[in-house]
A and B are shown apart, each in its own frame.
Chain A
């Protein structure tokens, strides 16, 4: 659904490429996560893909068609959830949704959309009086209000409290179940791990690592087990592969002294730091 090959982009007047030869593929019904430090080019990559920025090099395709060959009809196929809230502040939430929806042939019920993210009570409130999180939730539902096949979400959970963030993630998973293809950027590695089929770590416009979260966690993790006991402040470390023959481990289990047990596969936070660190 989304395909890039050796994609380069340079802002007019900038000294260096902001997107520096990236290649990736997002299949139908997949969630693809673009991760990476602030300023690494995540939003820029998205903007190139939905044609807000022009003048790229290499190939970028949506549904098998090069971006430059798409006209305005592209925008019926895709939905965009911007990084920063953008609404008419003098219009109400409902008016905002209805206004933008009127330019599409298809549309979900605006009130239903507001309900999904807990904004039904604020439907008739001017968006100028919304908090940041409320604006972001409105941004989010607007992105798929015209029921597009492909979604670009730029930090959809930023500025949200844990419960609202949970609600959003459930909606994203639900959209995936409906068969939507989603390109998402986020700084929350837990979210990426939970949502994404594949993640790419971007640093200075280059993809440093691309794989599924499961594979990455194994690749970067240590095959060890860390056990903490009531008796000691120091954890005891065991080798996972030797565990079944490890007498001291079995004794520890039977002793009833165990406080916590953790296998030490890497989490995406560690991988983020390891892959995107600047040399």
Chain B
């Protein structure tokens, strides 16, 4: 049994640098994204209205068509709960069903959707792979 990570972590703790470095990975993973304001509900006007189930389904369908099989092909969205992010972006809890499963089973994922001149687009989530 080897505990390379653990020993490394212990070493860092002893040297007192862990506190400073603790969140490097979290931040790095999010760094390619715009910074979200802490405000959870700053919608002003219609253009800031949260996306509906149909909007997120449309964004997903558009991405699924163009993503070379990076999405499951049969996601039907049945519920969303979105909060505003930076600009025209919304962070959403998305519930969906899949045809090969019991239709009562609601899968859950998070997704980042953005309003663009072409309509709602999917920036993250629902199986879209960026790497």
- The answer to whether A and B belong to the same complex is no
Measured CB to CB, the residues of A under 8 A from B are: none
Measured CB to CB, the residues of B under 8 A from A are: none
